[in-house]
Amino acid sequence: SGSAIKFDNVRIENGTVIYRSATGTDQRFEKLTATLTAPSLYGPYQANGNLTYQGIPATLEASLGNIEFDRPAVVSLRLGLAERGNLAFSGSFQRGPSVNLSGRIEAESGNLSTLVNTVIGGKVPLPALEQKLVVHGTLNATPATLALDDMLVTFGAARATGAVNAGLEGGPRVDVVLEVGRIDLDKIMGDIIAQAAAAPPVRNQPAAPGTGQAGAGRTAMLLPDDIALSLDLTVGAIDYRGRLIRQLRTNMVLDDGRLALNQLSAQLPGGTEASLLGGAANGDHGVRFQGSVEMVSTNLREFAEWLRVDLVNVPADRMRSLSLQSDVSLDSRELLLSQLDLRVDSSKITGGLVYRLSTRPSFGVTLTLDRLNLDAYMAAVQQRLAPVLPEPTPRADGASPQPPLAVLDSFDANMKLQVGQVTYRGQQIRDITIDASVQDGVATIRDVSVSDLAGGRAKLSGSLVAREDAPAGELLFDLSTRDPGRLFQLLNFQAPVEPARLGRLALKGKLSGTPASFEVDTALNIAGAAMTVTGSMGVAQFPPRLDLAAEGSHPDLAQLLSAFLGRNPKDGPPLGDVRLWLTAKSGDTDALAFNGRVEAAGGMATLEGDVNPFAPVPTFALNFEANSGNAVRLARVLAPNYRPVGDRDRPFVLTTRLSGNASAFDLADIVFKAGDIEMTGGGGVSRSGERPRVTAKLISNDIVIDPWLPDPALGAGPASPRAPIPVPMAGPQGWSREPLSLGGLRSIDLDLNIEAASIRHGNYVVDSATLAVLLQDGVLDLSTLEGGLFGGTFLAQGQIVVADLPTMRLTVRVKDADLRLAAASAGQPQQIRGLLDLELDAGSRGNTEATLISAMNGGGRFKVREGVAEGFDLQQVSDQLKELDSVAAFLGLAKAAFSGGETPFQQLEGTYKIGEGIVSTDDTTLVASAGTGKPTGTADLPKQQLDATAVFQLTEHPNAPPLTIEFTGPLAKPRTEFRTRDLEAFIAQRAVERGLMRLLPEGTTTT
């Protein structure tokens, strides 16, 4: 009997136990050394020993009480796997009609990652499992069932409770219910990142067998049909990216090879709720899931911030809400979204899309968008005045960029899109259709069209190939609009002219062939001008190979200028047509050979050289030449009413060499000829700042201005009146009140230096003239205008500051100027001869001529040496006053003396002040041998009125009253009046005295 058999001391030394599963996987327990004792076959049993598992030492302790029918026996089991983990069980075992094992089970591992690698026999980094694991529960097992109740699982800082129930008869069935309080995913991810950063770099290793291209040689995953599983998981909170994911719930059932996902839902930041429902089953391509996804977000901006999506440039009142509903299907081949309904704010997208999970990206899209207001989403983005194209840069690896069409051979796609309305840059785009596909490097465009493109229409159709072995394609395009301004606004293009003048715009053409050689045939019509571009371009390589020719024309240059410059086509003489030719052809280098020619208004301009638009920074080196046999006709192209004096058949030539790039280029070897004027020099243009900056340094021969001035006899208007005194004079209509046009000074920066042998205007000649002008940021500085003037020197400096109320200042210094030459040059009578020194400092503020003159302030001084005042003879008046006793005779003589003759003087000197446009002097003094004069008074420049008085005191007649002359009235023609009452009385009194003296006897004295 069993009670007669006993095991006093059974030992196993260095044994091996092999467990082979149904799949053929072996588990080996080696170096088994154990001791087994039992008084009888019915127990009690006691076993102790040790072994190695996967090379790791392990210990075993087990005991089993007396086994009696229908009575429980105490069971104890303890397994130890060194520091990797321990398992302990204590309970009872009962043999009877139903075998039953029940008790408490405890399992612990200090590092779950190490334990898992021990079990699977690998060395796979599992940072997420680098945590301590403790499992407690109550085990109840029979041959048909297994239940683990009151389960408590601690994994790191996370705690979970639940139960596991399994049915072992037939196909296994496992039911798991688990409730987790909180998981700190941020900490787990942080540990993973830290461990990855500390790990040594992995060197390139041969790919493991079976790896390689996605999907190549893989066996599709299938759901098992011999096991049933159910999972009911609840996680209260998950810490992720500093926020909480709440109420994660999962309920799924696997049975008979089918998976039912009854619930997968969570509450995400931003008032967002997401859920996924559906089922999965085995199909021809592995497991295929079909279900539906829903998501609703009431604070989309907060949700996006949590996902690290930057919405800083999206206005705060946009991206506020989102709702998503869609059917979803997924297997090893593709992801399919159908019955899609996506709403973001007030926009709605419906339709579906499919993405092929293969090594070659492949997708299909069928979507409809009702409306989208892009302006509302881009309001915070800085809008540029014109499109800014990024400058191409070389690739980091030094390789040339891919050909532009190579991207078409990198994916396959099929797209059908319908868009109802898009608002962009204040313009409406309506009824957008995109029906196109890309397959094996061939783009087939069935219909890409816009029925309302900011008032115009656009259509694209045909095919475009990216592979040489594909049939040649043909792409047709057609764009037209009657309102180019709206189209320009949509494209963020600031036209150089008022778009309303351009009339209808039409662009039409085709592109046919293969990447090695596309034939180009394009036509553009705008503002009545027509241009065609024909030729070929090969884009199979970089840089592309081009051989293009453009030809354009307009039957009436005046009409074209009317559109682009606002020039009245009825002004000036007929200009005839204008024609344009351009060619660009690839050569042995990356640069293009460029040639251009324009013929118009009897002149011609050419541009010839090399252009390299494919360099990291596009460059050019071009020779420019413009010439005309009639410079005046050429000038009248832009100024139709310009009709100068003299002969009009004057040659015009301008040549220079341009080299550099679009941001900065040099103007070398400048030669400018207009009539007898010849200038040479160099300069440059920089476009790196807010506005273009032009620098030029020129040397000129004699510059004679008169032949280029408008001819008054031909309708240029009457000459301005000449003033007898050197002050600013208004025209016949007075000072203009039209706003000054100074806006152009803000459109460009300029640094100009000109040295001329002389500058001549009439008889005015400035010898060895130097001009230096600096214009920057709307401030025009006349740094220097100097030279020889009337035998002396001349220097002027000034400044104009462009603002809402412009300011101006002027400084003039004249030294040793011969007034006789000045008067002759001005065509005026020689009133004063001598050498003049003059200083002027004036400033003003205003936006019209009238306000500038009225606000003028400043002053200065003048001095004339070694002079002669012409027009009166002060010495004659003094001499005759000695002899004349008749008032009438004296007055006649005085008027005769102030109507001719001359008065030498030693000095004429004084100062003047300017206040609110009124020039005044009160200290001017004329010192002559016959007497002294003191002119005082004011010249009202705004009103153009003079009010001045000159008082002359005769040196030889100190007791005689002074002679006074008054000048009043218009500056252009003042009235002259003599004030002689006191002097008349003086003469009359002296005449009486002289008469009485004659009546007295000789020798009589008077007192």
Query: Cα–Cα distances in Å, from 433 out to 415, 417, 510, 937?
Result: 10, 6, 20, 82
Neighbours of 543 (CB within 10 A): 19
Of the candidates 62, 64, 60, which has an alpha carbon nearest to the alpha carbon of residue 92?
64
d(CA 404, CA 408): 9
Query: Cα–Cα distances in Å, from 466 out to 140, 434, 537, 686?
Result: 69, 20, 13, 39
**What is residue 521's predicted lDDT score, i.e. its pLDDT?**
95
**Angle in degrees, 0-180, between the axes of helices 887-897 and 874-883, rounded to the nearest 10:** 170
H or E stretch including 161? Answer: strand 158-167
d(CA 567, CA 498): 12
Neighbours of 877 (CB within 10 A): 24
**What is residue 655's predicted lDDT score, i.e. its pLDDT?**
96
**What is residue 883's predicted lDDT score, i.e. its pLDDT?**
65
Q: Would you kindly state where each structural domain of the chain is located, as residue ranges?
A: 406-541, 876-905+918-997
d(CA 891, CA 885): 11
> 227 near 174, Cβ under 8 Å?
yes
Instruction: Please give the average pLDDT of every successive group of 10 residues along the chain, which has 1007 residues.
Output: 67 85 73 87 86 85 86 91 88 87 92 79 74 92 92 91 90 92 87 69 49 49 87 94 94 93 95 95 90 96 92 88 96 93 95 92 95 83 43 48 74 94 92 94 92 93 81 89 89 79 90 87 93 90 89 89 76 86 91 94 92 89 92 80 74 94 91 92 89 92 84 51 48 75 81 90 81 91 88 90 91 87 59 84 92 93 84 73 61 61 84 94 89 91 91 83 86 79 72 55 46
Rama region for 673: left / alpha / beta (φ>0; ψ in -120 to 50; rest): beta
Neighbours of 210 (CB within 10 A): 9
**What is residue 671's predicted lDDT score, i.e. its pLDDT?**
95
Of the candidates 437, 505, 409, 490, which has an alpha carbon nearest to the alpha carbon of residue 447?
437
For the CA atoms of 110, 113, 117, 119, what is the dihedral angle to 10 degrees?
Answer: 50
330 Cβ contact partners less than 8 Å away, ≥ 6 residues apart: 288, 289, 336
Q: With helix as H, strand as E and coil as C, how does 550-599 read?
A: EEEEECCHHHHHHHHHCCCCCCCCCCCCEEEEEEEEECCCCCEEEEEEEE
Six token digits for residue 296 = 């609703």
**What is residue 992's predicted lDDT score, i.e. its pLDDT?**
65
Q: Coil, helix or strand for 987?
A: helix
> 421 near 410, Cβ under 8 Å?
no
Peptide bond into 39 cis (omega under 30): no
> 638 near 567, Cβ under 8 Å?
yes
**What is residue 473's predicted lDDT score, i.e. its pLDDT?**
83
pTM value is 0.66
Bridge partner residues of 393 (DSSP): none
